[in-house]
Structure 1
Amino acid sequence: MLLYSVLAFPLFFVLYLALPFIFERFPRLYRSFVFKPKDEWGNKEEHFTCFEKHQLSSASARNFYVETSDTCDKLGVWHVLPFEHDIASGTKQVNLGSFDEALSCGTPIFLYFHGNTKTRSVPWRVDIYKLLSAAGYNVITFDYRGYGDSSGHMTAESDCVYDSLAVLNFIYDHCGSSPVFYWGHSLGTGIVGSLMRHLLEQRERYSSNIRLPRGIILDAPFTCLAHVMMSRKSMWGYGVSCGAANEKEGDHNCVQSEGGIRHTKQLAESLRMNSPVQFVSFEADRGYRHNFIHTAPEMPQIVR
């Protein structure tokens, strides 16, 4: 038993030192820690077109696809109309042109970036869409390549940026002067940060109809995609240094509130944002954890 203990410690130490080099040498292994697209529905298109099973209505939500510019992958997208509950209950009437009209009539649009697991159809994500819809917003949400009914697979962080640009191109082709906002959750907050830097760096290099968002909500944020992997308990022994982004933080263990306030300021500085930045924290005893900050009673007022 003593011999086993003596041998186990140096073996563990060697593996601890070797793991970062293994991830560098085999990036596919690293990506498997970050991107978790599998769920029980696979890529069944009918799962994403039958809205009633997701507590939505086909009268107030539509499913469609956009194509990425780099790989021509197909991305599954949902559009949920404002006040979808009234439409579903029949108290508000719509016609077939209502979806395109809703985007172009000046009503604000929220683009939702989900986290690293499963798909846009997860029930608590649907609750966020309904929250925003009830506040009078259009909601656009999508699955990254390899997730849900989207084709392809993730190879790098840049894939997330290209996927986001594909959806934004659709939005700005249809929205006219309607303001666009971003809501990123978990991994989605890192994607929003990468997207913003891309837009700021590239907007002077080429002509694009994509404008910067009117506002951003970062929900239960990670400072960068590397932090998604490092949040796993098996990786807590390793440190990560990267850019930071926080706007709205829950009581999860991944990012502490003191750091969140500092990261919020860093985000504004790194993105050269002149707009006011608000940091909203929630006490741990409220029990929202990582995924349920949107259930806070004050959230409807916060998003308005």
Structure 2
Amino acid sequence: MTKLLFYLLGLLVLHFGAHVHVLPEPEVKVAPPAEDNPDYYERSLQGGAPVVMYLHGISGSRALLGRVQVYQTLRNLGYHVIAVDYRYGDSSSGPLSEDGLVADSRCVYEWLRRRTADSPILVWGHSLGSGVAVHLVSALCRHGQPPAGLVLEAPFDNLAHEVSAHFLATFHRDMPGFHWFFVAPLKVNGMAFESDVHIAGVTVPTLILHAEDDVIIPCRLGVQLHRSALRYQPTHQVRLHTFEARFRYGHDFIWRSPRLPVLLSHRSLVRVPGVGPESSETTLPPVNANELYTAFAGVMATS
């Protein structure tokens, strides 16, 4: 707990009841303490720097150490990060449902949109948060409120497939009644998270990131989601990047990849001068957040 507290203090964050706001690196040195001038943080959203709205998975809270490391990585790239709280578990209570999570996230997105002026917003969903993100962005696109882009980290195509593929189901999925007892109730109880259906409504550039050694959500489910997306989006607008198992990123550590700055641009599938094979020692050249956003939102169509 102490270590986590130091991480949070080091990030210079403003913690609301519904979200955490992490300032981009250039603003950290000039920002006043949150308790002295809380309005500064809202005003800073109008400065033009890209904003990542981060939707975490079902376990723990937005303050888990691995998630804090994601915020740190994005902050170092010059992004604001808004890490969203849901209506269950973290600092609030209420029934858990897909529609409820999407409604909560949309409320934060609309709050952000009113305060960011022309600053671009990227919606980032990890694990179960990817299901929330696809559903949310699909609805936003249908209603003429699309974000600048969508990033899906360790996503599934739908929750029914994820429940069946999860390693904890290894010894049970072939038993009589498994589907009836574990899978069928998901849809009945409003927890289907059919990203492969909702992706049809997504019209913004989409980046899918998945580690091949992910045992929580197998990489093949991310690949299946990519295939579903390609039925509705042009190939230059939706990209899939998988990470070899030798890097041991698993379900929660893609933020460790030194290629992440490049993957957040349209250059993710082309050779970048000066960037060698991925390794823990690889150092990428500095990347400006606005340049990253321009590349990412520029239809990602370079070859």
Give the shorter-chain TM-score range: 0.5 to 0.7
Whole-angstrom distance in 2 between the partners of 1:81 and 1:285: 33
Gaps of 5+ in 1: 1-46, 66-75, 205-210
CA contact (8 A) 2:229 2:238 kept: no
Offset at residue 224 of structure 1 (A):
2.3
Deviations 1:261-303, CA, capped at 9 Å, x for gaps: 4532422544x57862221111111111111111112223323
Whole-angstrom distance in 1 between the partners of 2:222 and 2:71: 25
> Does residue 104 of structure 2 align to residue 163 of structure 1?
yes
Q: Which moved more, 1:184-193 or 1:145-154?
A: 145-154
Whole-angstrom distance in 2 between the partners of 1:143 and 1:78: 8
State the partner residue of 2:44.
102
Whole-angstrom distance in 1 between the partners of 2:3 and 2:46: 23
Offset at residue 60 of structure 1 (A):
2.5
State the partner residue of 2:22.
80
> Does residue 287 of structure 2 align to residue 287 of structure 1?
no
Tell me which of 151, 160, 167 is aligned to 2:93.
151
CA contact (8 A) 1:191 1:225 kept: no
State the partner residue of 1:61.
13
> Does residue 228 of structure 2 align to residue 266 of structure 1?
yes
Offset at residue 64 of structure 1 (A):
1.2
CA contact (8 A) 2:56 2:125 kept: yes
Offset at residue 110 of structure 1 (A):
0.1
Q: Percent identity?
A: 28
273 and 60 in structure 1: CA distance in 2 versus 1, 3 angstrom threshold: farther
227 and 188 in structure 1: CA distance in 2 versus 1, 3 angstrom threshold: farther
CA contact (8 A) 2:52 2:123 kept: yes
State the partner residue of 1:196.
137
CA contact (8 A) 2:86 2:92 kept: yes
Offset at residue 234 of structure 1 (A):
4.1
**Code of the aligned partner of 1:168:** Y
Q: Name the larger-Rg structure.
A: 1
Offset at residue 169 of structure 1 (A):
1.8
Gaps of 5+ in 2: 184-191, 200-206, 265-291, 293-303
Aligned ranges 1:1-304 → 2 under 5 Å: 53-57=5-9, 60-65=12-17, 76-83=18-25, 87=28, 92-95=29-32, 96=37, 97-154=39-96, 156-201=97-142, 203=143, 211-236=145-170, 237=173, 242-244=194-196, 247-251=208-212, 252-253=214-215, 254-257=217-220, 260-270=222-232, 276-303=237-264, 304=292
CA contact (8 A) 2:57 2:127 kept: yes
TM-score, normalised to structure 2, is: 0.67
Whole-angstrom distance in 2 between the partners of 1:194 and 1:125: 21
110 and 117 in structure 1: CA distance in 2 versus 1, 3 angstrom threshold: same
Q: Secondary structure at the match of 2:8?
A: coil
**Code of the aligned partner of 1:267:** A
Offset at residue 212 of structure 1 (A):
0.8
**Code of the aligned partner of 2:155:** P
How many residues align structurally?
A: 231
Whole-angstrom distance in 2 between the partners of 1:163 and 1:227: 25
TM-score, normalised to structure 1, is: 0.67
**Code of the aligned partner of 1:171:** L
Q: How big is the alpha-carbon RMSD for the aligned residues of Structure 1 and Structure 2?
A: 2.9
Whole-angstrom distance in 1 between the partners of 2:225 and 2:10: 40
CA contact (8 A) 1:184 1:219 kept: yes
52 and 79 in structure 1: CA distance in 2 versus 1, 3 angstrom threshold: same
Deviations 1:133-187, CA, capped at 9 Å, x for gaps: 1100000012211121123231x21111111111112101211111000111110
Offset at residue 220 of structure 1 (A):
0.9
State the partner residue of 1:28.
none
